[in-house]
Amino acid sequence: MLETLNPQPQDKILQLIAMFREDPRTDKIDLGVGVYKDATGLTPVMRAVKAAEKQLWETEKTKTYTGLAGEPAYNSAMVGMILGAGYADRAASVATPGGTGAIRQALELIKMASPQATVWISAPTWPNHPSIIKYLGMKMAEYRYFDAETRGVDFAGVLDDLAKVAEGDVVLLHGCCHNPTGANLNAEQWAQVVDLLVARKAIPLVDLAYQGFGDGLEEDAAATRLVAAKFPEVLIAASCSKNFGIYRERTGILIALTSADRKAVVQGNLNFLNRQNYSFPPDHGARLVTMILEDAALCADWKAELEEVRLNMLSLRKQLADELRKATNSDRFDFVADHRGMFSRLGLTEAQVNILREEHGIYMVGDSRINIAGLNSKTVPVLAAAIAKVAG
Ligand code: LMR
């Protein structure tokens, strides 16, 4: 049986981790996978997470199964963090293994409910989106998103393409901090997109993996909250990997907003999907998140540290834009300071990306996406000089 299997293509982002590890150069720079690193290159365990873990170790009395949907306290704390108050009667939800688990469960739910629906993704998007959609055998279409000239949003392209969405189609939207480009819709553009998709009777699927990494915890939820307020049905796949720094704990949530009448049936289907795929969702990370969100002191400390992380990335963006201005004697990389979140797509060719890796030991994804958090004040000028050399 197993001899019939063909080799799978390597995931372009995860492949970089191995290549970087094997590179013997000591001055190599890793700007690949989206993991936050401090100035010393460490991905720290956040203070509030450590404190919650200590408390949990002291107080936890059992490790028996949780519920199929996870712990209700986690789900309601997450719905509150993402949407604010007022959604208890509309929100069905399940805890999932990370944001990827939430995306996967969302797509499976769509497939069960509406097998003919086309899922629209931005061009470009996180490569795992189209990969899972194809794997599930679902229909897929792309809407233009990124302007390769300005490295901003091609908003005319977005509107043109989303005008072709059919009733009942699903549109995957990045709630904040677009991955891989770093280019985001402003509030006015979000309002236009929402009006257009309401008129098309589309179903939004919001991927919210970086809440707190862009303009602030509340600010980064604004677009998702607008979507939640305007559509009768919304799917939201959220991740705690980045904003709580608990990547390997696999902590995410899928929220399905529906009518109060349909909520119990939708919840039953979400529970069913969890049962088919892995029974009970992982609990450790979800429990830490719940403890932090429910405890005023832990929550304040977590928010303060998250804000430090966000401001550090913003300051690295400014430094990089300044250094690129100097190194290239032009303003064509100024967009780096306007982008938000962990990533910026620089607009280099694949050949230039390869030269940066081979000759300068600088690792970025092939589409020239860099992880801003992989930089520090010493490596920013090194990167700027190398970019000027290959693309100057
Ligand atoms: C990324 O885009 O680098 C992250 O979301 C990590 C991943 O799983 O790809």
pLDDT per position as a tens digit, 274-320: 999 999 999 999 999 999 999 999 999 999 999 999 999 999 999 99
Domains along the chain with CATH numbers: 9-46+309-391 (3.90.1150.10), 65-294 (3.40.640.10)
Which residue among 10, 33, 241 is best mutated to probe the pocket of ligand 1, counting the most ligand atoms within 8 A of its Cβ?
33
Q: Which residues pair with 93 in a beta bridge?
A: 255
Strand pairing category for 252-257 and 234-239: antiparallel
Ligand 1 centroid vs 246 CA: distance in angstroms? 13
Closest CA to ligand 1's atom 6: 34
Annotated catalytic residues are 126, 207, 209, 242
Check pLDDT > 90 for residue 107.
yes
Closest CA to ligand 1's atom 1: 34
Indicate the helix (H) or strand (E) that contains 60: none
The terminus-to-terminus CA distance of the chain in angstroms comes to 53
Ligand 1 centroid vs 34 CA: distance in angstroms? 5
Ligand 1 centroid vs 247 CA: distance in angstroms? 10
CA proximity to 90, closest of 262, 336, 214, 299: 262
The C-alpha atoms of residue 125 and residue 179 are separated, in whole angstroms, by 6
Ligand 1 centroid vs 13 CA: distance in angstroms? 7
Helix/strand/coil (H/E/C) assignment for every residue in 153-204: ECHHHHHHHHCCCCCCCEEEEECCCCCCCCCCCCHHHHHHHHHHHHHHCCEE
Angle between helices 379-391 and 296-328 (to 10 degrees): 40
Would you state the pLDDT for residue 392?
Answer: 75
pLDDT per position as a tens digit, 5-18: 999 988 889 999 99
Using the atom order of ligand 1, give the atom closest to the CA of residue 128: 9
> Pocket around ligand 1: residues whose beta carbon is below 6 Å from it?
13, 33-34, 126, 179
